[in-house]
């Protein structure tokens, strides 16, 4: 918990303590409080987690308000920065558990019909509390419910601990879904080249290069999973389905690198070049460019650090950026392609030096 608090803040303590407390209250196993060594455990927790927070708060008196109040409580209760509908985490969990999602109804039915041991109650509380905690949050990201997946896996493992079954609806449903996905990947390129189907989203761009290969692997892997499930064990077949998609994702994931990374755009800038980010800051740009990146009309979560930045010239307005780029031949700007029109109103000679998907590196030739 101490390491979790250092990594993600108070939630690293709230969730596990809440799960354990609810379990103890429901089972009335109050002896677990003593067995958990609360005094020595608390001292170890504080020894690991507290020093860093204390030091930061001493050096930055307003850090407590910024981090604990603004970044945790207000983001949970009132933020609109990452707003998603109330049911957002339901498809995230159902989709993230594939191909095992189709086995969840059977697992729930098996647990309800059997005498449930206390360990399974703990696992159910583990999942339920995390899901219910984040569902009302005004700020939602899919990764918030990652801790829900281990208890789902444990519940499935417990429910199907008996003799293996061959075939079955869950296996066929998962296999057909995976096979349809593979077929779509295979036909995507040919259909697009013929003009029959087009995808406006830049996120689909790599499919033109890898669709046929990846789709073929998924189709044959799905067929193998269905055959193994019918011949030997439905869980063996489903595991093959999951491994097939995982292997395909790992093999072809590099084709999507440029969609989220700035490496191909900013790496290789001259040592003396100055780089500025307009309207949106990509953290990877600082790493791959090997220099501090100036911020132009973009602050977001960096507000706290910006207030303490002693280096001048790295937080600018658009007018200041225009003045620099019109006069400095070593100045470059990183921004989204849709913002170029607005920038050219201030910097008419702006030219695109490099572009990857929607991300552009801009420069004024001969400035």
- Asked if the model's pLDDT at residue 128 lies above 90, the reply is yes
**Confidence at residue 122, expressed as pLDDT on a 0 to 100 scale:** 93
Among 240, 257, 274, the domain-final residue is 257
- Asked if the model's pLDDT at residue 310 lies above 70, the reply is no
**Confidence at residue 206, expressed as pLDDT on a 0 to 100 scale:** 63
| 249 & 359 share domain | no
User: Domain for residue 296, yes or no?
Assistant: yes
| 115 & 205 share domain | no
| 28 & 86 share domain | yes
| 62 & 124 share domain | yes
- Asked if the model's pLDDT at residue 69 lies above 70, the reply is yes
The residues, any chain, with a CB within 8 Å of residue 273's CB and separated by 6 or more, are 291, 330, 331, 332
Among 227, 257, 287, the domain-final residue is 257
| 202 & 331 share domain | no
User: Domain for residue 275, yes or no?
Assistant: yes
Q: Once rounded to an integer, what is the mean pLDDT over residues 265-293? A: 89
> pLDDT tens-digit profile of 8-62?
889 999 999 999 999 999 999 999 998 989 999 999 999 999 999 999 999 888 8
pLDDT bracket for residue 215 (50, 70, 90): confident
**Confidence at residue 165, expressed as pLDDT on a 0 to 100 scale:** 77
* Whole-angstrom distance, CA of residue 296 vs CA of residue 314: 8
- Asked if the model's pLDDT at residue 334 lies above 80, the reply is yes
User: Domain for residue 277, yes or no?
Assistant: yes
How many Å from the N-terminal Cα to the C-terminal Cα in the chain? 54
Among 236, 257, 278, the domain-final residue is 257
**Confidence at residue 356, expressed as pLDDT on a 0 to 100 scale:** 79
| 218 & 296 share domain | no
User: Domain for residue 23, yes or no?
Assistant: yes
| 77 & 152 share domain | yes
> pLDDT tens-digit profile of 165-174?
787 888 888 8
| 51 & 132 share domain | yes
Find out whether 217 and 190 touch, Cβ atoms under 8 Å. Answer: no
| 15 & 50 share domain | yes
Could you tell me the pTM of the whole model?
Answer: 0.75
User: Domain for residue 164, yes or no?
Assistant: no
> pLDDT tens-digit profile of 180-207?
888 888 887 777 667 665 555 555 666 6
| 233 & 327 share domain | no
Among 116-125, 145-154, 253-262, the least confident range: 253-262
Q: What rounded mean pLDDT belongs to the chain?
A: 85
Who wins on pLDDT, 216 or 113? 216
Could you tell me what percent of the chain has a pLDDT over 70?
Answer: 91
| 19 & 103 share domain | yes
Find out whether 140 and 195 touch, Cβ atoms under 8 Å. Answer: no
| 202 & 118 share domain | no
Burial letters 23-35, b for 16+ CB under 10 A, else e: bbeeeeeeeeeee
Who wins on pLDDT, 161 or 262? 262
Which residue bears the tokens 């077949």? Answer: 237
Who wins on pLDDT, 254 or 258? 254
**Confidence at residue 198, expressed as pLDDT on a 0 to 100 scale:** 58
**Which residue range forms the structural domain that includes residue 252?**
169-257
The total of structural domains in the chain comes to: 3
Most confident option among 43-47, 201-205, 226-230, 258-262: 43-47
Among 5-9, 62-66, 228-232, 237-241, the least confident range: 62-66
Could you tell me what percent of the chain has a pLDDT over 90?
Answer: 27
User: Domain for residue 7, yes or no?
Assistant: yes
């Amino acid at each position: 918990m101490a390491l979790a608090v250092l990594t993600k803040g108070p939630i690293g303590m709230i969730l596990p303590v809440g799960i354990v407390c609810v379990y103890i209250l429901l089972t009335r196993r109050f002896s677990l409080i003593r067995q958990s060594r609360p005094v020595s455990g608390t001292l170890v927790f504080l020894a690991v987690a507290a020093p860093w927070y204390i030091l930061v708060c001493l050096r930055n008196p307003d850090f407590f308000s910024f981090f604990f109040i603004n970044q945790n409580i207000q983001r949970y209760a009132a933020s609109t920065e990452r707003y998603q509908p109330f049911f957002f985490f339901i498809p995230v969990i159902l989709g993230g558990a594939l191909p095992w999602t189709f086995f969840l109804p059977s697992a729930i039915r098996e647990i309800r019909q059997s005498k449930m041991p206390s360990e399974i109650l703990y696992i159910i509380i583990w999942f339920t509390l995390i899901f219910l905690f984040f569902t009302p949050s005004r700020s939602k990201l899919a990764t918030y419910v990652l801790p829900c997946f281990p208890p789902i896996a444990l519940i499935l493992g417990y429910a199907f601990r008996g003799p293996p079954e061959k075939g079955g609806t869950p296996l066929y449903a998962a296999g057909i879904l995976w096979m349809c996905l593979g077929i779509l990947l295979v036909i995507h390129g040919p259909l697009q080249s013929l003009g029959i189907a087009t995808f406006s989203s830049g996120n689909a761009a790599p499919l033109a290069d890898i669709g046929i290969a990846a789709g073929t692997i998924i189709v044959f892997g799905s067929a193998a999973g269905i055959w193994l499930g019918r011949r030997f064990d439905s869980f063996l077949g489903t595991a093959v389905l999951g491994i097939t998609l995982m292997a395909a994702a790992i093999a072809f994931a590099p084709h999507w690198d440029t969609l989220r990374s700035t490496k191909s755009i900013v790496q290789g800038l001259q040592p003396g070049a100055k780089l500025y980010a307009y309207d949106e800051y990509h953290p990877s740009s600082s790493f791959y460019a090997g220099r501090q990146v100036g911020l132009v009309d973009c602050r977001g979560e960096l507000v706290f650090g910006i207030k303490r930045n002693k280096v001048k010239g790295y937080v600018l307005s658009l007018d200041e950026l225009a003045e620099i780029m019109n006069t400095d031949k070593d100045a470059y700007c990183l921004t989204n392609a849709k913002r170029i029109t607005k920038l050219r109103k201030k910097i008419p000679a702006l030219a695109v030096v490099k572009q990857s998907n929607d991300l552009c590196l801009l420069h004024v030739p001969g400035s």
